[in-house]
Amino acid sequence: MGSRPPGDHLTGPSHRSTGGGAAGLNHEPPGDFDGWECDIEVVLEDPAWRSAVPRVEEVVRRAAAAAFAEAETGGAVTVLLTGDLQVKRLNGDHRGKVKPTNVLSFPPLHPGLPGDVAVALGVVRREARAAGRSVMAHLSHLVAHGVLHLLGHDHLRAGEARRMERAEARIMRRLALPNPWRGVA
CA atoms within 13 A on the CB side of 47: 4
DSSP state letter for 178: -
**CA–CA separation, 86 vs 81, rounded Å?**
10
Q: Is 27 annotated as ligand-binding?
A: no
Average pLDDT, the chain: 82
Alpha helices per DSSP H over the chain: 48-52, 56-70, 84-95, 121-131, 135-150, 158-174
What is the number of other CB atoms lying within 10 angstroms of the CB of residue 24? 10
User: What does the pLDDT look like over 161-185, one tens digit per residue?
Assistant: 899 999 999 999 999 999 998 865 4
Q: Is 149 annotated as ligand-binding?
A: yes
| pLDDT number for residue 34 | 58
Query: Domains in the chain, please, with CATH?
Result: 15-174 (3.40.390.30)
Q: Is 110 annotated as ligand-binding?
A: no
User: What does the pLDDT look like over 144-163, one tens digit per residue?
Assistant: 999 999 988 777 778 888 99
